[in-house]
Structure 1
């Protein structure tokens, strides 16, 4: 696909779930993938599945020095980075009154600080080149109140604001920054959150959650397809946009 074939793409959170689906999808459309995650075993499995192979990089998106070195390695081995996908994320649920400092700081570090650290590298590298695309995978929880997800939602809202604001800064330089916000998607993270993911389809009136109008859980491939669209030349006039991929769950 134009804008993707041959492009060097860094995908964080690539060891499983949405990140893995994004890496596989972009590789099928010709991207050269640098897959990043803190889980080396999952990362190796992803790279083995990539069409054309890829580069596996164990890394922590919250480590400023490590991220800079990671981008240096990618560009030395694969060439200039043209596409970055922030798919690394972590989740802890429960009433805000019971949210531990540890859970809060972990979510804030990965979901928000990680986006900032990666975004700085995008600005420093893609900006002077005058081309490129950054896509952050956030959550529909960032845009609508969710009971038992306040801390997570806040960190994802920060990720959205960071990405859009960076998009405003980089637009005059020709770099696009967009957000994909999934709803309930059938990933290991979701299955760790609830014993009955299918209940999310019908909704939970007691917690003011309406369910999914399209009548099914999202699949990681659904999110990956949205990422691919925003990365492609078909979206060349789209920046600072947030694309919801949630089956209508937020009624927008």
Structure 2
């Protein structure tokens, strides 16, 4: 357990916790002594986490697009587990398409999870945190929120909205002791990243292409020469919710190996 983080014994809600970055966030918080309410639309992954970590992790199914379900879960958690000190919005989806071919359904579904879901969860926990005068909310966004990406208009726009929403919330609740920040990953080795690779491309070749960039799609490579591991993103989240970041709010932390050249 790392000393000085102030996470021991705190209660954290993590959405999209069943795999990838969300699973890594749960692991990072548990390692530093936090208790975690791990939620996901599909219960299998979070149930496995509860089995793995025992009493430190409680698993619940949650559809973040349903405001009633979010409010009910937060109320239940505060009643049965204790006051929430931390909330981490990780749940997200990606549907890639050129804008001219993008369907209304894919646009709406992307915003329903990536933007509305962040709103539903953050609003519910912020109400309670602000009343207690303490708390930390982190939204996992994307570096696509800050630089145009071909084929990712819906995803990029939804993440940009989530970033600005989180900053505005942070401004409103700062005087009441609640910090709100975002972490914006670049390419990270998750199922979402793999879904962007064609079935005919092996992982080594796909990784090389991401690192080197693609002039045809105006995409820069990754200066650090590697794709992120989910733990890289989770470590950034764990820092921002810890006491070590007690004077940081409304900040957007890029964790992308320099891929956007911080455009």
* TM-score scaled by length of structure 1: 0.97
Match of 2:58 among 45, 55, 58: 55
Count of paired positions: 252
Deviations, residues 97-134 of structure 1 (Å, cap 9, x unaligned): 11111111111000000011111112210001000000
The answer (yes or no) to whether the contact 1:167–1:175 under 8 Å persists in 2 is yes
Match of 2:238 among 228, 239, 247: 228
Q: Could you list the per-position Cα deviations for residues 60-115 of structure 1 after superposition, in whole angstroms to 9, with x for gaps in the alignment?
A: 11111111110112112210000000000000112111111111111100000001
1:193 paired with 2:196, answer yes
- Is 1:119 aligned to 2:122, yes or no? yes
> 8 Å contact 1:127–1:175 — kept in the other structure?
yes
Q: Pick which of 191-200 and 133-142 moved more.
A: 191-200
Aligned residue number for residue 44 of structure 1: 47
How far, CA to CA, are the matches of 1:34 and 1:27 in structure 2? 11
Does 2:90 align with 1:90?
Answer: no
CA contact (8 A) 2:5 2:32 kept: no
Alignment match, 2:131: 128
Checking the alignment, whether the CA contact within 8 Å between 2:146 and 2:160 is kept in structure 1 is yes
Structure 1, unaligned runs of 5 or more: none
Write the distance in 2 (CA, Å) between the matches of 1:51 and 1:26.
14
Counterpart mapping for 1:64-103 below 5 A: 64-103=67-106
SS at match of 2:29: helix
Paired residues for 1:135-154 under 5 Å: 135-154=138-157
| Counterpart residue number, 1:106 | 109
User: Is it true that 1:203 corresponds to 2:206 in the alignment?
Assistant: no
What SS does the corresponding residue of 1:198 show, helix, strand or coil? helix
Residue 56 of structure 1 aligns to a residue whose secondary structure is strand
Separation of aligned partners in 2, 1:224 and 1:146: 24
Tell me the TM-score normalised to structure 2 length.
0.93
- Structure 2: give runs of 5+ residues left out of the alignment: 199-205
For 1:159 and 1:5, locate their aligned partners in 2 and report how far apart those are by CA, in whole Å: 28
C-alpha distance 51-144 of structure 1, shift in aligned 2 (>3 A): farther
Q: Which stretch has the larger CA shift, 44-53 or 12-21?
A: 44-53
